[in-house]
A and B are shown apart, each in its own frame.
Chain A
Amino acid sequence: MAQTNYSDIFKNPLSLNNPITVQVLGICSALAVTVELQPAIVMAISVTVVTAFSNLIISLMRNTIPSRIRIIVQLVVVASLVILVDQILKAFMYNLDKALSVYIGLIITNCIVMGRLEAFALGNKPVPALLDGIANGAGYGIILVIVAFVRELLGSGSLFGFKVIPQALYDLGYSNCGIMLNPPMALILIGIVIWIQRSKMKELQEK
C-alpha cells in the first residue's frame, strides 16, 4: 500500500467490502439483535467503538508486538474494550444491556474485529487504522439497522417501540408477521440485501 487513500479506506467497508454482505462476517449477532431497532443501533455503536479503538491501539502497538503472541495481544485488547463497553452500558443503559445480554460479550468473538486487526491494523499507521475500524463498524451497523428496520416494522408494526402501523389497517385484517421476529427471517433478509447489492454492483458479480 504505497499511498493511503483515506476515502477508499472509509468507503470500501460500507459497500464494496462490507463486512456482513460481502465478507459475511459477524452474522451471528446480526441475526440475534435485529428484532428491534434500538438494540440494533446500540449494538452497531458498540461494535464500531470496539473495532475503532482496538484498531487504533493495535496499530499504535504494532511495532512492539512480539509476533508469536500477537493473536493473544489482540484478544486481550479486544476483550478489555468489550468489558469496558459492557460496564458502561450496565451503568448508564441498563435495560439495553439486558436486552443485548450475551451479545455484547460476544463482540469479542465477532470475526469483524479480529479480522480487521489482522488484515489492517497490524500493517498500517494509527489514523488509517482508526478510520478503517470506524468504517467497518459502520458497514456492519448499516446492515444491522436495515434488517432491524424491516423486522421491527413488519414483525411488531412499530419502530423504536412506537406503533407506526395505524389501527385502521389492523381493523382491515392486516396482522403482524410473526416469523419476522424469528432469527431465520433475519438470515433471509440479509440474503435479500446481499442479492440486491450484488445485482447493483458489477464488481461483486462472479463470472
Chain B
Amino acid sequence: MNTNSNVYTVVYSAIMVVVVAIVLTVVSVGLKPQQKINMDNEKRINILKCAGIEVDESKAEETFNKAVVESFVVDSLGNKTNDDAFSIKDNLIVFKTVVKDGVVKKEVKLPIFKVENNGQFYYVVPLKGKGLWGAIWGYAALKEDFNTINGVVFAHASETPGLGAKMTEDFFTSQFVGKEMSENGKFVGVNVYKDSKKTAEDPKHGIDAISGSTMTTNGVKNMVNDCLQAYEPLKKTLSSTSASAPAVDNTDTVSEPVPDAPAADSTQNVIK
C-alpha cells in the first residue's frame, strides 16, 4: 500500500485521532471519582490549615467533619442561602450579575466555614483573584472578631516558578498572620510595600512584596482585600453574635449570621 498518498494520510490521521480520543476519554472518566476525592481532601486540608490544624489526606475528611462546626453560604445581605458551602462552584466566592426590574445588581454568594480548634472559633473564607498569568486562589481564616487574619493558604495556576510562584511559600503567607482588616470601622485590608521599612511602619496591614513579582503580589493583595471586603457586612452579625451570645437566647443567635445588621445598600458596597 502506498503510505504516502493523500487519502491514506488523511484517513490514517482521522482514525488515529478518534482512537486516541476514545482512550483518553475512557481513562479520564474512569479516574474522575478518585481525582475528585483527592481534590476535595486538598480543599479540606487547606481550610483546616489556615485555622491552624495540620492534617494529612488520610485523616482529612474525618478531621474536617469534626472541626468544622458549621458551614453556610450567605448572600450580600447576610441571608443564608440553600447552597452547600463545600460543593458550591469550587467553593469559591460566586459573583453573578442579575438584572431585576431593570436594575443591574451583582449577586454574591459567600461561603463560610466555622472551624473549631482548641476551643477557639475561626471563620475560614475562600479567596479568588487574578495573578500575573492566571487564576490565583486560596483561603483565609479570620479570628472570632472577624477582623484579624489567623492564617492564609494560597495557590496559583501558572505564576512564574521561582518568582510569583513563591506566593504559596511560608515566608510570604506567614506575613498575613495577625493582620487586621478594618480600622475604626473602615475597611483597610492589607497593603503591600517594596520597602521593608515601610512595612515595619504599618504593622497592622503591611506585607513585604515578593522581589521580582510585583504583579503577582498585587494580585494577591487585591484578592485578599476584595474577597475579605465582600464579607465585611457580615462582620457585625458574626462577631456580635459571639460577643452578645451569653446575653441573648443562645440557641437562636449563636450561629445565625442574618438578623438585622447589614444595611440594604450593602449590595452596592460589596462589589465595586
Residues of A whose CB lies within 8 Å of any CB of B are 32, 63-69, 72-73, 76, 80, 83-84, 87-88, 90-92, 94-95, 102, 183
Q: Are A76 and B20 also in contact (CB < 8 A) when A87-B27, A90-B31 are?
A: yes
B38 touches A91 (CB 8 A): yes
**Interface residue? B8 (CB, 8 A):** yes
Q: Which chain B residues lie closer than 8 Å to A92 at the CB level?
A: 34
Contacts A64-B12, A80-B23, A88-B31 aside, 13 further interface pairs with beta carbons under 8 A come to A66-B4, A66-B12, A67-B3, A69-B9, A69-B12, A72-B13, A83-B24, A87-B28, A88-B27, A91-B34, A94-B35, A94-B42, A94-B57
Would you call the interface of chain B mostly helix, strand, loop, or mixed? helix
Residues of B whose CB lies within 8 Å of any CB of A are 3-4, 8-9, 12-13, 16-17, 20, 23-24, 27-28, 31, 34-35, 38-39, 41-42, 57, 161-162
B54 CB → nearest A CB, Å: 14
B24 touches A66 (CB 8 A): no
Q: Which of A65, A80, A83, A95 contacts B3 (CB 8 A)?
A: A65
Q: Which chain A residues lie closer than 8 Å to B41 at the CB level?
A: 94
21 CB-based A-B contacts, threshold 8 Å: A32-B161, A64-B12, A65-B12, A66-B12, A69-B9, A69-B12, A69-B13, A73-B12, A73-B16, A84-B24, A90-B31, A90-B35, A90-B38, A91-B34, A91-B35, A92-B34, A94-B35, A94-B38, A95-B57, A102-B161, A183-B162
Closest CB pairs A-B (n = 4): A94-B38, A91-B34, A91-B31, A66-B9
Would you call the interface of chain A mostly helix, strand, loop, or mixed? helix
Q: Which chain A residues lie closer than 8 Å to B42 at the CB level?
A: 94
Q: Which chain B residues lie closer than 8 Å to A65 at the CB level?
A: 3, 12
